[in-house]
Chains A and B, each alone.
Chain A
């Protein structure tokens, strides 16, 4: 059960395989390139608006051969590497530190089972002043127990914390949160210079998802799970998104419903989003 749970979380909820694998940005939503699971090397740098150059490390057994399980648990839940370096919070340790330890252990078990890929990505570095600020970010984990699925709202809160929705759906500038939680507005510059902006998922009826039904929300994901779905080619300048739809589409319907139920309990925030601006 543990490996199965870890595989589910890593591929469809916490999306470790999204950041730590190679994504094909010529296709819609940048699906993962087969055979690159966990190899690392994806770059999140100044061109994308980050205060430094952050490179996803190799989390296959090749990259983690010197790490103990305890060091992995600490890195995932507090943001500190085995050699004491702080991890930039694009790796959402602030969220993972609020989860159930059994879930974290399940994902550790899963990544230990991945095919080993020989790849040594460059080490991440921060620009000034983030090279100082980053050391103040890690904090001790506050691990919890996963709520029962019958406690829909709290279960949804747990799952949305694990999914890290707020990390993209809350506006940030240079790594600093400047927007209302889940109200969208976070700009992501794409490789061709176009900008995709995260949408408002607060229950505001006109600019958010306040008028959506739970089924509509679930179907928004599940359409990408249809066996006939193939990620189409996206020509430069046409609508593209960093939202990893095909990975989230594998999330259990009950989990998506719980996330929707939790989102509906939030304070509505009016924030109209221009989702995509094509490169000029």
Chain B
């Protein structure tokens, strides 16, 4: 019984760490679409 509880405890801890890790990654590393391009839009007036 004690062993089962210990295994369950480890499982919950690992899941918790994975969830925290994923949430931290999403909040700090995403979105990641690269740098803004270096462009200059020409304002061509219609005639």
Contacting A74 at CB < 8 Å: which of B27, B36, B43, B44? B36
Is A192 part of the contact surface with B, judged by Cβ < 8 Å?
A: no
Query: Of B31, B36, B40, B44, which contacts A79 at CB under 8 A?
Result: B31
Assess whether A4 is in contact with B46, with CB atoms less than 8 Å apart. yes
Which chain A residue shows the least CB distance to B47? A1
Q: Which residue of B lies closest to A135 (CB)?
A: B30
> Which residues of chain B are within 8 angstroms of A135 by Cβ–Cβ distance?
26-27, 30-31
The answer to whether A136 and B30 touch across the interface, beta carbons within 8 angstroms, is: yes
State how many angstroms separate the Cβ of A87 from the closest Cβ of chain B.
9
Instruction: Report if A69 contacts B (CB, 8 A).
Output: yes
Chain A residues whose CB sits within 8 angstroms of the CB of B41 once the complex forms = 69, 105, 108-109, 112
Residues of B within 8 A of A79 (CB): 31, 33
B40 touches which of A2, A3, A69 (Cβ 8 Å):
A69
| Contact of A100 with B by CB under 8 A | no
B4 at interface, CB cutoff 8 A: no
Can you name the residue of chain B whose Cβ is closest to the Cβ of A113?
Answer: B43
Bound together, the chains give a CA A146 to CA B14 distance in angstroms of 50
Complex CA–CA separation, A1 to B44 (angstroms): 7
Contact size range, A: 20 to 34
A136–B33 alpha-carbon span in the complex (Å): 10
Within 8 A of A (CB), among B23-47: 23, 26-27, 30-31, 33-34, 36-46
- Nearest A residue to B38 via CB reads A70
Q: Which of A1, A132, A140 has a CB less than 8 Å from the CB of B33? A: A140
Chain B residues near A1: list those with CB within 8 A. 44, 46
Please tell me if the beta carbons of A2 and B39 are within 8 angstroms of each other in the complex: no
How far apart are the CA atoms of A4 and B43 in the complex, in Å? Answer: 11
Given known contacts A3-B46, A132-B23, A70 and B31 CB-to-CB distance under 8 angstroms: no
Smallest CB separation, A204 vs chain B (Å) = 37
What is the minimal beta-carbon distance from A180 to any residue of chain B, in angstroms? 28
A11 CB to closest chain B CB (Å) equals 14
A149 contacts chain B at the CB level, 8 A cutoff: no
Give chain B's interface residues, CB within 8 Å of chain A: 23, 26-27, 30-31, 33-34, 36-46
Query: Can you name 14 A-B residue pairings with CB atoms under 8 Å?
Result: A2-B44, A3-B43, A68-B38, A69-B41, A70-B36, A70-B38, A70-B39, A73-B37, A80-B31, A86-B31, A132-B26, A132-B27, A138-B30, A138-B31
Interface residue ranges, A against B (CB under 8 Å): 1-4, 68-71, 73-74, 78-80, 82, 84, 86, 105, 108-109, 112-113, 132, 135-141
Which 9 interchain pairs have the tightest Cβ spacing? A138-B31, A4-B46, A70-B36, A135-B30, A78-B33, A2-B44, A74-B36, A70-B37, A69-B41
